[in-house]
């Protein structure tokens, strides 16, 4: 449950709605559907790689799990503070004018950057995925993590599809929801940092 809540708050649906809307609202419905599918697909690929072989990459680099947890906690904390303090204003980093010159035939250009990276998947998301999977041993645990990733991908798909209409309906409420997400992220970050520090002390203490 903590893994799911962390991924959801890092994605920050309120901020994502506002940001995605500025990119997708000028596309026709069929193109919006294709964009949503590809962003969700990219999310699944990146997260499954992180969950399955991310830990082994860390082992090759000589990085301990507690160290990664601390790093992830710091990244989550940094991501949460601006959201909590400034709300939507600081998170909507994409302006409509930035994509006015992109023709519809080249909509694929916005799928990887910025919609997948860094809007759907950021460094903190990858770090949390690797550190969480490194603490699991049973096959059932990996199945649960995989199910959470698929659930998140479905949520991302829905939000991407409905971003334009939701942004118009929510209006100023997006700012409030973003601030609440920021508070949750900061709280989770502190918990992750505490676990990582405790792990380092047990290893080197």
**pLDDT for position 139:** 92
Give the number of C-alpha atoms closer than 13 A to the C-alpha of residue 40, restricted to the C-beta side. 18
**pLDDT for position 124:** 80
pLDDT in tens, the chain (205 residues): 889 998 998 888 887 887 788 778 778 888 899 999 999 999 999 999 999 998 888 888 888 878 878 887 887 788 778 878 876 553 434 444 444 444 545 578 788 878 888 789 977 888 889 989 988 888 999 999 999 999 999 999 999 999 888 887 887 777 777 788 778 778 888 988 898 899 889 888 6
Q: Are 33 and 139 in contact (CB under 8 A)?
A: no
**pLDDT for position 40:** 97
**pLDDT for position 90:** 39
Q: Are 194 and 2 in contact (CB under 8 A)?
A: no
- Cα distance between residue 166 and residue 112, in whole Å: 22
**pLDDT for position 143:** 95
Give the number of C-alpha atoms closer than 13 A to the C-alpha of residue 75, restricted to the C-beta side. 20
**pLDDT for position 101:** 45
**pLDDT for position 106:** 58
Other beta carbons within 10 angstroms of residue 180's beta carbon come to 15
* pTM recorded for the entire structure: 0.76
């Amino acid at each position: 449950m903590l893994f799911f809540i962390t991924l959801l708050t890092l994605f920050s649906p309120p901020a994502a709605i506002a940001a995605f809307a500025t990119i997708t609202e000028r596309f026709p419905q069929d193109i919006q559907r294709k964009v949503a599918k590809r962003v969700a697909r990219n999310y699944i690929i990146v997260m499954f790689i992180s969950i399955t072989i991310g830990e082994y990459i860390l082992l090759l680099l000589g990085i301990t799990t507690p160290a990664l947890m601390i790093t992830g906690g710091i990244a989550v904390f940094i991501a949460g503070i601006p959201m909590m303090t400034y709300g939507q204003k600081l998170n909507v980093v994409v302006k409509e004018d930035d994509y006015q010159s992109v023709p519809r035939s080249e909509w694929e250009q916005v799928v990887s950057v910025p919609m997948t990276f860094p809007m759907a998947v950021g460094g903190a998301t990858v770090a949390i995925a690797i550190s969480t999977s490194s603490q699991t041993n049973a096959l059932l645990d990996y199945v649960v993590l995989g199910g959470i990733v698929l659930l998140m991908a479905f949520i991302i798909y829905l939000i991407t599809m409905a971003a334009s209409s939701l942004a118009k309906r929510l209006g100023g409420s997006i700012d409030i929801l973003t601030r609440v997400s920021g508070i949750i992220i900061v709280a989770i970050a502190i918990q992750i940092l505490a676990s990582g520090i405790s792990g380092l002390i047990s290893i080197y203490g």
